[in-house]
Structure 1
Amino acid sequence: SDAGGMAGAFEGMVGRHPEMARIYQLITQIAPTPTTVLITGESGTGKELVARAIHARSGRQGQPFVAVNVAAIPDALIESELFGHERGAFTGAHAKKLGRFELAHGGTIFLDEIGSLRLDLQTKLLRALQEREIERLGGVRAVPVDVRILAATNINLKNAVRERAFREDLYYRLNVVPLHVPPLRERREDIGALVQYFVRKIARECGRDVRGVSAGALEVLTRYDWPGNVRELENVLHRAVVLARSPVIHLQDVPLDVAMPETGSRLGEDTGPPLREALEQFERQYILRVLEGVGWNVSHAARRLGVHRNTVLTKLSGWGIQRPGSGEGRSLSF
């Protein structure tokens, strides 16, 4: 497969799903312009990668790219972090400090989780967008700034506007070009390429000899819903690469809450699946693990399981799982 070749094909973004192709095209179109972009999508979908790609393909690529997660900065510090402060602006302000806007001068500032910005600071941000100037905390004069503003949110800003938690005029200023990044569960066909990309990258970084992913493991990774999206997939693969006992990641290297999501994390809750579903889940995982353990020799696995060979084949067929090497085997090796 040439998935490895396309792995970082578009500024480190991986995937050929039509939605991703549309994003790549949109980035190419808007990057050279000074347009403000609002990137929306769930947590972990790669919104910062999109922002970095816009910067990298713009005329500002040699200038700073400054990323700020607005929600991660304590409320008391956010104003001075973004806009800087003058000496003596508050207790402990012993020296003048440049804010992120001034540090990004000539380049791009990326404001993530913009929906959590306080209303009074939304006003200052609006001024930066409109007048291209900011005022340091404790300052009396406006400081001109030349920055391109990219913003991202994982909440519905339109609702926040309706609820008066977000300024309507700022919303329209930011939302000049909306760009939505789909959740991973909506582009499952990209999971194989992402797995290949991350396993290669992590194996190289960690000095591990891991070169492939078994059919059973790949099937489970593709079926899982990934509430934490690409970030969660990367995290699971990192753990799998580090703990893998062979050059191929097998089903037993995949965490149980990913392999059996309906039972794993919810056993302690009242909302677990009915017994029949849980048994089916377990049977599927158990048979796949036994098959992997015997190198997909169905007769050998059937003997171990104490069932007829045809029973195993019927189960596999019912689950839509192909044996590796049977034409369209789903294992990955690289």
Structure 2
Amino acid sequence: MTDASHSEADVASTAEGFEPLPIDDATGLVDRITENVERVIVGQHDAIEHILVSLLARGHLLLEDVPGVGKTMLARSIATSIDCTFKRVQFTPDLLPSDVTGVNVFNQKSREFEFQPGPVFANVVLGDEINRAPPKTQAALLEAMEENQVTVDGDTHRLPSPFTVIATQNDVEPNRTYELPMAEIDRFMKKLRLGYPSEKDETELLGRVAGDHPIESLEPVASIPEIQRARRTVTTVDVREPVRSYVTRLAAFTREHAELGVSPRGGIALVRASQARAVLEGRDYVVPDDVQTEIRTVWNHRIRPGGGDDGGAAVVERALDTVPVE
């Protein structure tokens, strides 16, 4: 067995093998990570929480905005706050799928091919400006994001656990980027926009970076086992039938009032995100408020209303206004 195979076996464990953290401890873990990240990132408390919801709910996150608002720094700060493996992939037009997943290399001594893992083999993978790479390279992430594995030359290799992709997307210069296919967009649990900071927050930010950048002194405040146990806690959060029915009826509304509504994968993502939100609020059960808090970041990017409009926010708002909580 190669060194790469050994490392894959070591990291391929799943959350099911971990004892869940008590709810209060899981909530405290999130608070600890959030406070640590806010040593670097100013004025993005809600965005930090949304990223941690994705992480605990076994999802992936897409950050879309104009250049320079801190997308990459936010992702780095989250990864640095957890004592985990972190890899960054700078997506460019000449990037190949094997540059992401890895490649089989012939070993002259053993006279055998050995798998050399690509940067996707990490607990947190930052895909920077993912829409600058062509569709074939973007597709290299599909299997990884859905099944926590990659297949190279017919051989399947398990990814580390936990495994989360945080991708950034540049929404300017459309003539120099490639549109993400819906199959890939649907695999992102959440899509966020950071926006420009307020005058007060930007002034605070300028003061922090006037000397050494605070990211350079940031230390981990959480371990992989703690994250695994917190993920396990999320899976134990109770989602009762009225809440599940509410999510189903919301999904049905989007399918009836859009060219492309929310898929069953989207419904599952909303339930898992709602479970994680309940943990953040210190509860072991989901309430409709959790669903309503999470639905916009989980569903807006999955809906295509038609008529040339590619935003689903209006459909989601109508669903929330129309579908009753029973």
Q: For this structure pair, what is the TM-score category when the shorter chain's length is used for normalisation?
A: 0.3 to 0.5
Choose between structure 1 and 2: higher strand proportion: 2
Higher relative contact order (CA 8 A, sep 6+): 2
Using the size of structure 1 for normalisation, the TM-score is 0.45
Return the index of the structure with the highest Cα Rg: 1
